Structure 1
Amino acid sequence: MKKYKAYLIDLDGTMYRGSEPIPEAVRFVNQLHDKGIPHLYMTNNSTSAPKTVAERLAGMGVKCVADQVMTTSLATARYLHEQAPSARVYVVGEQGLQEALEDYGFRLTETNPDAVVMGLDRSITYDKLSKATVAVRNGAMFISTNEDAAVPTEQGFHPGNGALTSVVTTAAQQNPVFIGKPQPIMVDMAMQALGLSKDEVALIGDNYDTDILAGVRAGIDTIHVNTGVTSREAAAGKEIPPAYQVETLAEWADYL
C-alpha cells in the first residue's frame, strides 16, 4: 500500500447511496480533514452548484466547503473559458450549469451561439434539442458535461445527460467534447488545483467505467471501493484494474 499526499473522491456510491451516507466514507474523509490531507470531491452531476453539494455533504456529517467540490458544470465552464472566453453560449441544462457559465462571464443566448453546452436537463423539450442541433450544424462548438447514459433514482434508472446529448449528436452528425468522468479533463483540472504530481494523488471511486477509468486515463493511481456500482470482482477483471481495492474506506484509513 502507498501513502498519498492528496485524494480525488467520487460522491454517489462512494460517499453516499442516494440520500444515505456511507458511514465508513464519512469517517475517512473527516480523518483527511483532521490530518490536513488535501482532498477534492468530483461529481458528474451538473445540476447542482458546488455550494449545494457541500451543504449536502455537511448535512451528512462531512467536514466540507464548496471549494473542495468540482462539478462537471464548473469544469465545463472552466474548459470553455480556456478555449473561447468570449463565446456566446446556448445552454441545455439546469441551474447549476447556467450559474457556472455566468460566473465565468459567458453570455447565454438562444440566437446564433458560438457554443452549445449540454448538461442534464429534467425539463428537456424538443424545442431545446432542435435549437442545439441547428446551432451545432451551423458550426457552434459542441460541449457536454458528461456521457452518463442513465442516472439512478428512487424509481429506477432515468435517462442521463449522455442519452440527451446523443439526440443532438445524431441529428447534428457531430460528436461533443465530454468533460466529466471517464474523460480525463476534469481530473486534470483537479490535479492543477492541488498542485501536485500524478504519483502523489489517488482517485477513489465505486464505478469502474466512470471513476476508475478517468483515473486510468489521467495517469493517476486509483482505489476502487466496493460500496457502489461495480463489484470487486468485476473491477479486478478489467484489462486495466484499479491499483488498489477495498471493501470500504475504513480499510484505507491506516495508510493516511
Structure 2
Amino acid sequence: MTEPHPIETWLTDMDGVLVHEEHAIPGAADFIAALRAHERPFLVLTNNSIYTPRDLRARLLASGIDVPEESIWTSAMATAQFLADQRPGGTAYVVGEAGLTTALHDVGYILTSRTPDYVVLGETRTYSFEQITQAIRLIERGARFIATNPDVSGPSHEGTLPATGSVAALISAATGRQPYYVGKPNPLMMRSALNRLDAHSETTVMVGDRMDTDIVSGLEAGLRTALVLTGSTRPEAIELFPYRPTAVMDSIADLVPIVESRGPIA
C-alpha cells in the first residue's frame, strides 16, 4: 500500500461536531484555531439553509468559535452554485429564508412566481400553506423541483421539527415529482466545497457526526473521513452501515494534533 497523502485541507460539519444547539463542543474552538494558526484551508459545511454565512459566523462566535465568514459553506450556497452552473441567470420561486434567497441573489438569480425555471425548497420555520400550494402549482406547470437537502427533521429546544425533506415529500405526493437534492449526502456538495478551496480530494478530510450524510458523502467524493461520536451516530450503530469511516474519534478535540502534524488519520 502507498503512504497516504499529507492532509492539506479540512471540511467539517457544524452541528454535532463543533456545536450542540448554541453550545460549543469541547475542543471545537481549539480545532478551528489550529486550522487557522497552521494556515490549513478549511470549510465548515452545513445542510442548514436558513442562515447566511454572516449569521452563522455570529452564532459560532457567540459559542466561542471563531470561523471566518468565507469559511462557511451551506447547502443554500451549494444549491445556488449548482443552479448558476446549470442555468446561468435563471429564475426561481423560493420556499425558504434569507440564507437561500441571499445565495440565489448572489449568483444573479431572479426570484419570481411567474413561470420560474425552478421551484427551490429550503428549510424555514414559517412554512405556509399558501407557499406550498404555489410551489405545487408551479411544478405542475413545468418548473423544475430542487431542494437544498433531504433532512426530514431537525432538533430544537422544544423537540423535533419538520425539515426540508418532510415538506419535499408533501410536495412530491401532490405532484408526483421528486426533487433533486443538492446538500449532503449528495457528494456534489463536497465537490463544490473542494472547488471553492481549489483543493484535491486525496489531501482532504471530511469530519462529521452522521454516517448517513457526512461520512457517505465524503466517501463518495473520494475524501478520507473522520466520524466523531459527539453527535447523531452512536458507536454501536457504525457496524450497521456497509461502509466505514477512515477513522472514528471521540470528539473533534482528538483531531487537533493531526491538524498540526498534517496527518495521517487511521
Query: Do Structure 1 and Structure 2 share a fold, with TM-score over 0.5?
Result: yes
User: Who is 1:169 aligned against?
Assistant: 172
**8 Å contact 2:14–2:45 — kept in the other structure?**
yes
User: Who is 2:264 aligned against?
Assistant: none
SS state of the match for residue 230, structure 1? coil
TM-aligned CA deviation for residue 27 of structure 1: 1.0
Given residue 198 of structure 1, which amino acid in structure 2 is its aligned partner? S
Give the 4+ runs in structure 1 shifted more than 4 A. Answer: none
SS state of the match for residue 89, structure 1? strand
Residue in structure 1 matching 2:125, options 81, 105, 122: 122
Residue in structure 2 matching 1:5, options 8, 11, 35: 8
Structure 1 distance, partners of 2:11, 2:234, is 20
Structure 1 distance, partners of 2:128, 2:196, is 36
Structure 2 distance, partners of 1:69, 1:13, is 16
Which ranges in structure 1 are unaligned for 5 or more consecutive residues? none
Number of aligned residues:
256
**8 Å contact 2:121–2:148 — kept in the other structure?**
yes
Percent identical pairs in the alignment equals 33
Structure 2 distance, partners of 1:88, 1:194, is 27
1:103-118 correspondence to structure 2 within 5 Å: 103-118=106-121
Structure 2 distance, partners of 1:125, 1:212, is 33
**8 Å contact 1:33–1:63 — kept in the other structure?**
no
TM-aligned CA deviation for residue 196 of structure 1: 2.1
User: Who is 1:193 aligned against?
Assistant: 196
Residue in structure 1 matching 2:183, options 175, 180, 185: 180
**8 Å contact 1:224–1:242 — kept in the other structure?**
yes
Over aligned residues, Cα RMSD in angstroms? 1.4
Given residue 206 of structure 1, which amino acid in structure 2 is its aligned partner? D
Which ranges in structure 2 are unaligned for 5 or more consecutive residues? 260-266
TM-aligned CA deviation for residue 236 of structure 1: 4.1
Given residue 97 of structure 1, which amino acid in structure 2 is its aligned partner? L
TM-score by length of 1: 0.96
TM-score by length of 2: 0.92
**8 Å contact 2:43–2:72 — kept in the other structure?**
yes
1:1-256 correspondence to structure 2 within 5 Å: 3-256=6-259
**8 Å contact 1:236–1:242 — kept in the other structure?**
no
